[in-house]
Amino acid sequence: MKIYYLILFCFLISSCQNIETEVKESVSEKFETVYVTIGELTDSRADKTYGNFVMPVKEIDKTVMENGTVIAYLERAAKEGRPQRWSMFPQYCLNCEVAYGEKPSFIYFSYGEGIVRISLRSETDISEAAEWISGKRIKLTIID
């Protein structure tokens, strides 16, 4: 029985250890909101399992890349009985409704200096997802 108490005691002491973390102090972060309309598919594989939309966003500069971040939201337009809203990426369509296309797909967001990319993946075909998202707006929250 003493061994169990000893193990319990050691566990309690070890769980109270201080863990060091690195915290960068921020100097008055700047937030900027930019709206971008998704155009036509920029690139697509021949087998239609991957494609992307690439859009220029000059506000994503070297400072944002080194110290900031970009958060993207996809606009959901108001419909009867539903208010306009913003949905965060990624977007999944696994058990799809007709409005989103009937083929399972995955839509995600990435960014680089001067650009944002909306990528689409599917085991079968991204065409319906590309058609569904083309022309929609994204809201970018850019934090320096």
Q: Please list the pLDDT of the chain residue by residue as tens digits (144 residues).
A: 666 555 555 544 554 444 454 444 545 568 899 999 999 999 999 999 999 999 999 999 999 999 999 999 999 888 899 999 998 887 766 545 555 555 667 888 999 999 999 999 888 888 888 888 899 999 999 998
pTM of the model: 0.70
Q: Is residue 59 part of a domain?
A: yes
Question: DSSP string of 73-135?
Answer: EEEE--BTTB--EEEESPEEESS--GGG-SS-EEEEEEEETTEEEEEEE-SS--HHHHHHHTT
Q: What is the pLDDT of residue 22?
A: 45
Domain with 132 in it: 38-78+85-144
Residue 7 and residue 1: Cα distance in Å, rounded? 10
Q: Is residue 20 part of a domain?
A: no
Q: Is residue 64 part of a domain?
A: yes
Q: Is residue 21 part of a domain?
A: no
Residue 15 and residue 4: Cα distance in Å, rounded? 16
Residue 106 and residue 118: Cα distance in Å, rounded? 10
Residue 36 tokens read as 């971008």
Q: Is residue 6 part of a domain?
A: no
Q: What is the DSSP letter of 50?
A: E
Q: What is the pLDDT of residue 99?
A: 52
Share in percent of the chain as helix, strand, coil (round to 5): 20, 40, 40
Q: Is residue 51 part of a domain?
A: yes
C-alpha triplet 25, 28, 31: angle, nearest 5°: 115
Q: What is the pLDDT of residue 128?
A: 84
Q: Is residue 9 part of a domain?
A: no
Q: What is the pLDDT of residue 41?
A: 93
Domain count, the chain: 1
Tokens 């239609």, located at residue = 48
54-60-62-66 Cα dihedral, nearest 10 degrees: -100
Q: Is residue 2 part of a domain?
A: no
